[in-house]
Amino acid sequence: MVWNLCKSLVTFILILLGFIFVLLLPREMEVEAIGFSQYEAAHPFTMDLYMDNMKAFVTYFQTEKGFGTTLAGTPILEEVQRYLGRSLKIIIPTFILVLLFGTLVGVLQFNYRSKKRGKILSFFSSILSSIPDFFLFIAIQYLLIKLIQAGLPRFHLFGSDYWYSFIIPLISLMIFPLLHMVRMTVVAMESEMSQEYVRTVLAKGLSRIQAIKHILRNCWSTIINQSQWVMLYIISSLPIIERLSNYNGAGDQLLYSILNNEDIRAFALMLPFLLIMFFIHVGANVLKFIILPKEGKQG
């Protein structure tokens, strides 16, 4: 268990350093006049520029004794706290709903897999899982616009100023990982179903419901492992969804900071997301150690 935590910490530090190295790559555009009304733009890269960026990054923290302030004088950490609070309204409910409903629907699909309703559910799951989340977001917005035109009470589809502003981004962000969770639950239960002991207990008269409960109990390892993938997908897709919905959260501000070469601010906004992934990874290992002691010690 301690060894796994140490590996997780080392992995987190390496990922953090990797993000910093990528963030500090020279991205400034140079424009050069090559003739009358003719200009050439380029993004030059030299090791000298790269080293200058690294030195400036370290010097900034030594001088400011922290993240410092924005150009407007607002402490960067205060901004991060405000924007992260908005993003967590999307991240936390999405994560919980995906794990709960993904597992539940997966069990139902497994139970009815040989029946018509199970095949229909599997068909729609396959179709929806092949559609990009940003397209689903646009489709949901278009559908809501049409419904509003047809008489649905008006509400704001964009922005982050209203209490319900997080709902549409949440739904859009939830669909793909939910379908993935359903699929992985079904695959895990089918794999467990093929085990000899399951056929034996069924032959001895164990009811189907009791057998499914037993199978699901033995699939916890897969479900716990998938929680890390679910959170990774949510965090990696969040900036695009927030940008499309004009939701002024940490993901949207992270994109803005990177595109505008605000390296310190981008680092401050990215750090909480990396910490969330780290704690999810550690939490998954702890759960495996508690619920599945043998696997926890091996994993």
> Considering the domain boundaries, does residue 72 fall inside one?
no
**Is residue 29 a part of any domain in this protein?**
yes
Q: Do 286 and 182 fall into the same domain?
A: yes
Note the pLDDT tens digit of each residue in 96-105: 999 999 999 8
Q: What are phi and psi of 284, to 5 degrees?
A: -65, -40
Q: Distance (Å, rounded) from C-alpha 83 to C-alpha 247?
A: 10
Based on the number of CB atoms within 10 Å of its own CB, is 267 exposed (0-12), middle (13-18) or buried (19 or more)? buried
Residue corresponding to tokens 């497994």: 110
Between CA 244 and CA 53 the distance in angstroms is 31
User: Could you tell me if 47 and 112 lie in one domain?
Assistant: no
Percentage of the chain lying above the pLDDT 90 cut: 39
The Cα-based distances of 226 to 48, 221, 247 in angstroms read 42, 9, 27
Both 120 and 22 in one domain: the answer is no
Structure tokens at 43: 């993004």
Q: Which of 118-127, 189-198, 252-261 has the highest mean pLDDT?
A: 252-261
Confidence of residue 35 (pLDDT cuts 50, 70, 90): low
| Residue 70 included in any domain | no
Domain that holds residue 124: 77-298
Same domain, 200 and 154: yes
Q: What is the pLDDT of residue 39?
A: 64
- The model's pLDDT over 231-269, given as tens digits with 9 standing for 90+, comes to 999 999 999 999 989 999 999 999 999 988 899 999 999
277 and 179 belong to one structural domain = yes
Q: What is the pLDDT of residue 296?
A: 47
CB 52 within 8 A of CB 256: no
Q: Residues 181, 51: one domain? A: no
Mean per-residue pLDDT for 127-137?
Answer: 75
Residue 42 lies in a domain: yes
Residue 24 burial (CB count, 10 A): 19
Residues 217 and 103 in one domain: yes
- Give the number of other CB atoms < 10 A from CB of residue 243: 18
For the chain, the domain total comes to 2
Residues 54-71: tens digit of each pLDDT: 999 999 999 988 898 888
The alpha-carbon radius of gyration of the chain (Å, integer) is 24
Among the three residues 35, 65, 95, which one is the final residue of a domain in this structure? 65
Note whether 180 and 237 are same-domain residues. yes
Residue 95 and residue 224 in one domain? yes
Helices (H), the chain: 2-23, 47-64, 76-111, 116-129, 133-149, 167-193, 196-203, 208-217, 220-244, 250-259, 263-291, 293-298
Q: What string of H, E and C letters represents the secondary structure of 219-265?
A: CHHHHHHHHHHHHHHHHHHHHHHHHHCCCCCHHHHHHHHHHCCCHHH
Question: pTM higher than 0.75 for the full model?
Answer: yes
Q: Quick one: CA dihedral 71, 72, 77, 82, positive or negative? A: negative
